[in-house]
A and B are shown apart, each in its own frame.
Chain A
Amino acid sequence: MISIFQNYGGTLLYGLGQTLLCSLIALVLSLIIGTFFALLEESPSKIARGIARVYIEIFRNIPLLVITMFFFVVFPLYVVKMNGFTAGTIGLTLYTSSFIAETVRAGIKSVDPGQMEGARANGLSFWQSMRYIVLPQAFRYVIPPLGNQFVNLVKNSSTLAFVGGFDLMYQGNVIASSSLQTIAAYSAIGVLYLIITLPISYYMRYLEKRLA
């Protein structure tokens, strides 16, 4: 395994970079989209709630790989050409946003409804109360589950390997087939994945305990 790191250090580092880049882009985008749909689901409008429900259920219940392959295979034919990295990141964003929407919604629900009532009684509109009173309190509860979603994101970014996204998993395959040291190559990328995911998992567990 050490010889893998010595001989293929650059390849591995590049893959690690792509994995992190894709995960971070997808995290930011899915946080925005997920929060948006969580707010829609809590909004007073029935139509808005319906739209949010449909979006969340669709992307929660279809496998990530099917979503990614859709963007990789169908989009270039009928809409716009895109490379594997883009298709993979879009798939990852849509898939994760549905889980983040559910997480944020649970966070909003955990805030005492008296907060919303108080804000409304003080003359704030529904959206103002959400933005200034409820959401800031909700995010405190939501940080540990969001951290776990990020861990899932990093792990799920390995689907980029299916569409030629040059991520860590993809490079692992390249190294495994060129060095013929299959186990060593996969162990090496396993270690690199753990370096990202384990500390986050442990830190989130610590935060969870402190919040409880």
Chain B
Amino acid sequence: MLQNFINAYSPDNLRYLFGGLGITLLVSVISIIGSFIIGAILGIIRYVKIKYVSAIVGVVIDVIRNLPLILILFFTYFGLPNLGVKPEIIPAAILAMTIFESTMLAEIVRSGIQAVDSGQMEGARANGLTYWQGLWYIVLPQALVKMIPAIVSQFISLVKDTSLATIILLPEMLFRSQIIYGQNTNYIIPMFVAIAAMYFVVCYLLSLLARHLEKRQA
């Protein structure tokens, strides 16, 4: 058994697995940045209540939030080619993650804005700022601070969710571990231990960060 572990963790295999971790993190980081930008726009639209537009955005957000991410992955990778767009694997994964996560972040942004004391906006208006100036210079910066722990938590689920993209053959950790143990069944347990440990370390450290940020705010 021990020999299996030693053989399984050969430098080549480890390098291959860590490359998978790199892809996991690459997809996660690009997706969270994209989701934050789109989510912020959607969240603000939801908050400021533009007639019809906000309601429609709300329905779209609710629909996407309540679908499985795997289904959205299938839509982007296998559905889009039917509409004449054929994305590569990594862009398809990033696109699906961004679509899904931006709806989650939209809700985080909206509740972050709502958590800012309404007196802040009134004060800004009383000092002669327009509504949008008050939102941009006074309310949003305070809301952003409040949202950060929730955004870090969302990033954790994003990191875990990238494993679902093995279904569209994204060469991330889980996918690569399957390739390694596909060559030698003795490597199955070592591979599961390795990827579980890698995911755990990344996600646990992030959760400590989220908890620390939350405490500092309270």
Contact = CB atoms under 8 A, between A and B. Distances in A.
Interface residue SS majority, chain B: helix
A172 B167 CA distance: 14
Contacts of B204: 57, 61
A158 interface: yes
A172 B72 CA distance: 12
Interface residues of B, number: 36
B177 to A, nearest CB: 9
Nearest to B156: A61
Interface in B53-68: 62-63, 65-68
Contacts of B30: none
A162 B167 contact: yes
Nearest to A160: B70
Contact of B74 (A60, A77, A157, A186): A186
Contacts, number: 106
B62 A190 contact: no
Interface in B28-71: 62-63, 65-71
B212 interface: no
Interface string B140-165: 00000000000000001000110110
Given A156-B68, A201-B66, A65 B166 contact: yes
A172 B196 contact: no
Interface stretch (A67-75, A109-117, A134-142): A67-75
B78 A176 contact: yes
Contacts of A198: 62-63, 66
A58 B203 CA distance: 10
Interface of A: 57-58, 60-66, 69-70, 73-74, 77-78, 151, 155-159, 161-162, 169, 172-173, 176, 182-183, 186, 189-190, 193-194, 197-198, 201-202
